[in-house]
Amino acid sequence: MLEPTQTLKEMENTFDFTARLAYTEELKDFPYADVWNYFCEKNGVPVGLNWLKEVKEYEEMILNER
C-alpha cells in the first residue's frame, strides 16, 4: 500500500468507484488505523478493507435476485 497508484488505476479502469473510495479513505486513516482496527477486531467486525468484500458479496447476492 505504499505505492497505491497502480491499484487505484485498476479501480478507475474497471469503474469500481466504491472500492476506490474505500481504498483512499483507508489510506487517510493510516496514522490512527491500528487503534480503530483493534476496536473492530475486538467487536467482531471486519478490519481494514475486509468489510468491502462483504459488501460486494451482498451486492452480488441482491443483484442476482433482481
pLDDT digits (tens, 9 = 90+) for 10-54: 989 999 898 898 888 888 877 788 888 899 999 999 888 888 888
Q: Residue for cell digits 433482481?
A: 66
pTM of the model: 0.54
Cα distances (Å, whole numbers) of residue 59 to 14, 33, 56: 17, 26, 5
Burial 13-41 (b: 16+ CB within 10 A, else e): eeeeeebbebbeeeeeeeeeeeeeeeebe
Q: Which residues contact 7 (CB under 8 A, 6 or more apart)?
A: 23
- The pLDDT of residue 2 is 56
Domain boundaries, the chain: 5-65
